[in-house]
Structures are given as structure tokens and as C-alpha cells.
Amino acid sequence: MKQLQKYRIQIAALSETCMYDSGLKIINDFTWIFSGLPSANKTRNAHGVAICLDKTAAKVWKESGSEWEAVSERIVKIKLKCLFVNLTIISIYSPVNPTNNQMNDDSQKFYNDLQDVINRIPTEDMYIIMGDFNARVGWNNQQQQNLSNSIGPYTVDITNENGEKLIDLSTINNLIITNTFFKHKLVHQTSWMHPGNKQWHMIDYILVNKKFRSSIEDCRMYRKAAGAIGTDHHLMRIKIKLHFRSRRKLFQKKVVYDPIKMKNDNALKQFQKDLIPTLSDATDKTISIDEKYDRFVE
């Protein structure tokens, strides 16, 4: 959690959490929405995914109705109603690149489940898919480059089988693979080192529907964060220009004061009486600043 605070992450997607069952937890001021295998079926490969929200994001999510869905041990999603657009966040953990029929079936099921989630998102909404896709994408040939504009010019690998599925998913749904659209040093593009040949690859991705491309300001890896949290993946952070505020604020009543009534002694005394609880809340140190504001405007 310290790394999320250090890098000012408001919404984080976590892959391979090894957490069982599904539900909500509060850990160090972060709200966790997680999904994993049933605890009755404990196995060595627990998988598991989660979405972590800081206080601001959690407040918006709660005011939006606290909508979430544990799709599987590899997919979890939440929905937020922001100022000008609905936002769906999907955290994923893809099976590894298949080398046999069983692994291919697992990979296909994952992409079928993910496509089903996408199909249920309204077309006008913004959605972001984040996580470990265990995929490598790149320009294998000119023909492939002509067929898809979901990949940017800054790739580091040759496309593998999982990469082809990722490109197909992105092309069909008009998504862009954001971390291939921003130029950075190689160390800030790759996210994982192969334990055998020690080569670095880009296998973690953030996908955004193409019509919101202008909202994406940057996407890159932060290698120093990995050592502090005991993972072999670098932290990937995306900067999005979005009015991150609940639309509930738009419908709050504006307080209008009548100066004529204030000249009436009885009306003035009643106003002062009504104001006392509000002022008491303002000086209460056990209430957060957000709660004080909400109580004041109600």
C-alpha cells in the first residue's frame, strides 16, 4: 500500500493475488474488491485478481452505488459514475501462453469471459482493462501493421499466441493498448524478466476504448516499486485526465438565503438554531473533511 501512496495511485489493478473467494476488504485506507477461487477448492495455483481504491476513488465508487462483479478468479470489475462519463474498471490475470490443449482451452475461456464482460458495458461508457495478460505484442510484419491500429509504434517484442488474442480483442472492441503509444526508455517499457534467459518483456497492459484516447496522458513502468513489494513485475502507471468526482454533487441543492427574512428576529433565531449542528460537525476532529463537506451541503 505504501507504493500505491508513493506513486499516487488512485485505482490499482492487482494480478495473481492468491486471494480466495470474493468480497471487499479495507486495508490501510484502501478499499479492496477482490475475486479468487472458492476457498473450498484451495490449490497451489490460486490466481486471483483485485481492484484497490484510495479514499477519493472509494468515495466516488460508494456514491455511484458500489457496483462490482466477481466474474471469475481471473476477472473482477467495478463501475464508477464520474462527472461526465461512466467508468468501468476491469482487473484481469490471463493464463500463460498456451503450449498444450488444456492451456489453450483455459486461455480461450478467459477471453470469452472477458468479451462477455465488454459486451455488457454501454457503448457510451469509458472502460479500462488492466493487468497481466501474459502476452507479447509487436509488429511481426507490415501486413499485421496494416490490419490493426490498436497497437502503437513503441513495442519491444514479437507477437506470440496470447498476443494475437489480445490484438484480436482490442481490434474487435476498438481498444488501444496504451503502453505501446508512449515513447520511453526500454527499462520503462518492459514489465517482466524471463527467469530462464533473463530477457525483459512487456506482458502487462492497459487497454482503453479508442474514443477516449485523448484522455490518456502517459503510460509507463516504474521498476523501483517492484523490489519493495516482492513481485517480479514492474509497477505500471497510467495517467488519465478525468474529472474524478461523483455526479451526485451536480444534483445537490444550492442553498439560497433570503436577506429580507433575516431581518425578522424569529426567523434569524431559528436559522441560528439550525446552524449549530452543522458548526459542531465542522469542529469534530473524528469526521473526515469529505464527510464534513457532505453534511454541510445537505
Answer whether residue 158 shows pLDDT above 80.
yes
| 230/256 same-domain check | no
Percent of the chain with pLDDT over 70: 79
Mean pLDDT confidence for 190-209: 88
Same domain, 258 and 239: no
Please, what is the average pLDDT of the chain?
84
Identify the helix (H) or strand (E) that includes residue 284: none
pLDDT at 40: 84
Q: Do residue 165 and residue 265 come from a single domain? A: no
The count of structural domains within the chain is 2
Same structural domain, 71 and 212: yes
pLDDT digits (tens, 9 = 90+) for 1-40: 677 878 789 999 999 888 999 999 998 889 999 999 998 8
Shared domain check, 278 and 172: no
The confidence score (pLDDT) of residue 49 equals: 96
| Top-confidence residue, 199 or 181 | 181
Integer angstrom CA distances of residue 62 from 21, 30, 55, 109, 235? 21, 13, 10, 31, 26
- Three-class DSSP category at 260: coil
Do 149 and 256 lie in one domain? The reply is no
Alpha-helical segments (H) within 120-199: 142-147, 161-172
pLDDT at 124 over 90: yes
Lowest mean pLDDT among 81-90, 100-109, 190-199: 190-199
Q: Are 75 and 113 in contact (CB under 8 A)?
A: yes
- For residues 209 and 127, the answer to whether their CB atoms sit within 8 Å is yes
pTM listed for this prediction: 0.79
Q: Mean pLDDT across the stretch 67-79?
A: 97
Identify whether residues 162 and 264 lie together within a single domain: no
Shared domain check, 86 and 37: yes
Question: Domain containing 131: what range?
Answer: 2-247
